[in-house]
Structure 1
């Protein structure tokens, strides 16, 4: 026997109340998920479901469950394998004040390396040879003199090289240059992305023990070492090296990386170069 119109209306009212309770319960669950780091809201639903009538929404949810939104994560910091070695290395300004010396003054060989923090070729060099340079410096075999230029800022968007070089100089002032320098290259953003922001540079600084503090943070914010960045750029320009970055001087003489490309990629070749120079002294 068919239900009367009045009974059908009553049943529809009960269903509407039940649906409202269910929606309210889902909102409570969404709030709990949000507080626990997993957020599920109506924004996760397809746009064509957000304005549907309640019955249509109910049918849609039964066919396609809501997709949980992934929590927003801060960029990761990629570590370097030579971390422990770098933490024990001394660093100071070079005699002319334009470079940064890493290693010991009694090393028989001085290897000057010209780098730009935005240069992807230099990042590849550091990935292949950074650990070897650190090991040789720790063994008193070579003093590595870094000259940090920043001319890629003239051709690429943003002041990333300037900001990174200023930050590296601040790291030197606060005892964390060797590791911070390595982390900058290990976490180098794409050349065409202005990724070396103040926030990112501070985050990388947090990965170096005892580096972050009011002074370091202020020196990044205020570009405290901007004039030094210009001095380093002048030193690079005056050197007139032929290979851009990275380039090398061995005891003051330019290394022909075009004739010896393995020096950029092969730790054994780089070690042999330093050993041969040490024997020649």
Structure 2
């Protein structure tokens, strides 16, 4: 199904951060420009198909700084190592976002449909972009956390569309039709193709101010951000 890239065992932390595999066989040979998207689907996405979350998206008291460190994270919501990264870094990232020290661009991709019995990877990715498209980055940020809190075990069924719609509503986005119609599906395909075009072959993949972060421990991302902040 997917080729797992084994990472280093982490002494004393009981966690393994590694890559979930390659998207190349899933997205096919098409170039990113070959994917068609809805007219509204990428209106506020970055040119790489990412969702940017800044300080004011997580806290009403936050300030957005022009000099904020730019963090980019490629992730597949079915990827267990992405969930491990989320668990180890979410609190730190939220703190840094609230301080205006960073912005985080989430590039949501899908190549792990085979790891669930109901194509959860692509459906979750579609739903996340529906939430962003319909209600903006704050709702996306909350929904993003909910998906990882409810990530299915590999080989099992993930939440169905009705449940994803409920999670979206709880986050402040009423996007039932977008979810059930797979309205952002073409954008998910395009984002996954873009990932391959960028030379990124697995998830999670993290960049801090354009520099790749080697995830050899659960504090690797924190250390890279702190170094970039200076």
- Which of 239, 253, 274 is residue 225 of structure 2 equivalent to? 274
TM-score normalised by L of structure 1? 0.58
Matched with 1:102 is 53
Q: 1:97 to 1:236 in 2, by over 3 A?
A: closer
**Larger radius of gyration, structure 1 or 2?**
1
Root-mean-square deviation (CA, aligned residues, Å) is 2.0
Matched with 2:158 is 195
Matched with 2:124 is 164
Where in structure 2 are the equivalents of 1:1-281 lying within 5 Å? 93-103=44-54, 104=64, 106-154=66-114, 156-173=116-133, 174-175=135-136, 176-208=139-171, 210-212=172-174, 216-241=175-200, 244-257=202-215, 261-262=216-217, 265-266=218-219, 270-279=221-230
SS at match of 1:192: coil
TM-score normalised by L of structure 2? 0.70
**CA apart distance, 1:177:** 0.4
**CA apart distance, 1:117:** 0.4
Tell whether the 8 Å contact from 2:117 to 2:158 is kept in structure 1 after alignment.
Answer: no
Q: 1:273 to 1:115 in 2, by over 3 A?
A: same
SS at match of 2:195: helix
Q: Provide the aligned length of Structure 1 versus Structure 2.
A: 176
**CA apart distance, 1:110:** 0.9
Matched with 1:55 is none
State the distance in 2 between where 1:218 and 1:128 align.
33
| Larger relative helix fraction | 1
**CA apart distance, 1:106:** 2.0
State the distance in 1 between where 2:223 and 2:213 align.
13
- After TM superposition, which residue ranges in structure 1, 4 or more long, deviate above 6 angstroms? none
Tell whether the 8 Å contact from 2:72 to 2:206 is kept in structure 1 after alignment.
Answer: yes
Q: 1:236 to 1:245 in 2, by over 3 A?
A: same
Structure 2 unaligned regions, length at least 5:
1-42, 55-63
Bigger relative contact order (CA 8 A; separation at least 6): 2
Tell whether the 8 Å contact from 1:147 to 1:235 is kept in structure 2 after alignment.
Answer: no
